[in-house]
């Protein structure tokens, strides 16, 4: 855990990485440090923009993904804001280019601690927006649930994508977490050699590559293939017990950040009811719902997420008081007029790139 009184000599070690992550957007002169956590795990980080930037946006990816999943959002911020915004992304332990860790450390509270240590190592201060997808959003909520002395930077903006505050084992595909399977898999993976694990996922990948169906299902299938071929099975399985036990409902009322909760109507992993709980529990949160999108919202509805990030930054620049907005304010976004299966690729790209999203919340909510 991060010490309450974090002195310079206690800060996580920071190393300059020789590898260049050129596939993470078109970042101008990014820095690629390796942050070593207190338990010795090296995290691969990409840091773009000056420390003195007006605002810092930190991206947290989901389970079995990596920081490249935020490419569209990162490119958008760099084009729109240039050096006035600092952009930080990193791979969670056991993911992407970050080092593996003992399976016992694959927990949501540990990811929150890793986030705190990244913020300390990179000297992040001032106005900050946390953007989390799925497990990354859960890590952000767990971070905000820590005592103030263990949060080196407070979030002024918060974008929660396909997220939940808990109760994962009670809804959607998450009900599988309530079965004995996760515990059995953890015990099994600990005794299966790596090359055997890799052979086991081969047939699954072949089947998923042949998948043809609705756009959100095809996107999810392609993502699962990438995850299975790039993420160690120990990582994927190791987080399951923590996801089952995860519960941050008690944290929601204490969050004062400008918050957007974004959900997909066709998301089987984190159904929209989770987003409704978040919007109801966080003061002034806006629920932006994309009816025909699935779990992979950063890829399926990038414009919606970009707009939410932009509004958190605009709110901070205008110093709009969060308390001025009603508790649990909910907004609905409809970027599609018809289901995606009725649109061709050209039409879908046009809708994704629209410059505005219709927001409805009792009365019309104008974009900031």
Q: Could you report the per-residue pLDDT of 129-154, keeping only the tens digit for each?
A: 999 999 999 999 999 999 999 999 99
Taking residues 148-170, report their average pLDDT.
Answer: 96
Task: Determine contact, residues 141/26, Cβ cutoff 8 Å.
Answer: no
Query: CB count, 10 Å around CB of 129?
Result: 27
Residue 199 has pLDDT above 80, yes or no: no
What 3-state class would DSSP assign to 151? coil
Q: 5 vs 86, which has greater pLDDT?
A: 86
Taking residues 59-79, report their average pLDDT.
Answer: 94
How many Cα neighbours within 13 Å face the side chain of 152? 24
d(CA 115, CA 198): 29
What 3-state class would DSSP assign to 85? strand
Single out the residue of 243, 88, 87 nearest to residue 165, CA to CA.
Answer: 243
The proportion of the chain whose per-residue pLDDT surpasses 90, expressed as a percent, equals 52
Single out the residue of 267, 301, 304 nearest to residue 286, CA to CA.
Answer: 304
Residue 297 has pLDDT above 80, yes or no: yes
Taking residues 259-281, report their average pLDDT.
Answer: 95
Sheet holding 363-364, edge to edge: 332-333, 359-361, 363-364
d(CA 61, CA 40): 21
| pLDDT the model gives residue 117 | 97
Q: 100 vs 12, which has greater pLDDT?
A: 100
Residue 339 has pLDDT above 60, yes or no: no
Taking residues 213-228, report their average pLDDT.
Answer: 56
What 3-state class would DSSP assign to 197? helix
Find all residues with CB under 8 Å of 234, minimum gap 6, and list them: 94, 100, 103, 106, 189, 190, 197
Taking residues 342-352, report their average pLDDT.
Answer: 39
| pLDDT the model gives residue 203 | 47
Give the pLDDT band (50/70/90) at residue 337.
very low
pTM to 2 decimals?
A: 0.77
Q: Which of 53-67, 208-222, 242-256, 265-279 has the lowest mean pLDDT?
A: 208-222
d(CA 229, CA 251): 35
Which of the listed ranges 64-68, 138-142, 185-189, 196-200 does the model predict with the highest average pLDDT?
138-142
Tokens of 181: 């399977």
């Amino acid at each position: 855990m991060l010490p309450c009184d974090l002195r310079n000599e206690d800060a996580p070690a920071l190393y300059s990485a020789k590898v260049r992550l050129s596939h993470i957007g078109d970042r101008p002169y990014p820095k690629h440090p390796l942050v070593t956590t207190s338990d010795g795990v090296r995290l691969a980080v990409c840091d773009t923009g000056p420390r003195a930037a007006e605002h810092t946006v930190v991206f947290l990816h989901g389970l079995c993904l990596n920081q490249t999943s935020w490419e569209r959002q990162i490119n958008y911020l760099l084009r729109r804001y240039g050096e006035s915004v600092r952009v930080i992304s990193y791979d969670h332990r056991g993911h992407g280019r970050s080092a593996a860790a003992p399976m016992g450390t694959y927990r949501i509270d540990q990811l929150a601690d890793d986030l705190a240590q990244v913020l300390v190592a990179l000297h992040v201060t001032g106005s900050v927006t946390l953007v989390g997808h799925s497990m990354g959003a859960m890590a952000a909520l767990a971070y905000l649930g820590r005592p103030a002395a263990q949060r080196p930077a407070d979030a002024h903006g918060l974008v929660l994508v396909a997220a939940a505050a808990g109760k994962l084992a009670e809804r959607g595909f998450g009900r599988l977490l309530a079965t004995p399977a996760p515990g059995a898999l953890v015990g099994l993976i600990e005794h299966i050699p790596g090359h055997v694990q890799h052979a086991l996922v081969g047939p699954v990948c072949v089947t998923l590559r042949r998948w043809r169906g609705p756009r959100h299902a095809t996107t999810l299938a392609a993502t699962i293939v990438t995850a299975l071929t790039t993420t160690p099975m120990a990582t994927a399985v190791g987080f399951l017990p923590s996801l089952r036990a995860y519960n941050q409902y008690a944290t929601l009322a204490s969050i004062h950040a400008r918050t957007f909760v974004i959900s997909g109507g066709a998301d089987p992993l984190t159904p929209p009811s989770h987003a409704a709980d978040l919007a109801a529990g966080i003061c002034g949160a806006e629920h932006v719902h994309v009816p025909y999108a699935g779990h992979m919202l950063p890829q399926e509805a990038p414009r919606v997420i970009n707009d939410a990030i932009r509004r958190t930054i605009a709110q901070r620049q205008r110093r709009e008081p969060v308390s001025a907005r009603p508790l649990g304010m909910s907004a609905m976004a409809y970027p599609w007029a018809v289901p995606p299966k009725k649109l061709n690729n050209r039409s879908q790209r046009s809708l994704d790139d629209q410059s505005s999203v219709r927001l409805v919340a009792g009365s019309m909510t104008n974009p900031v």
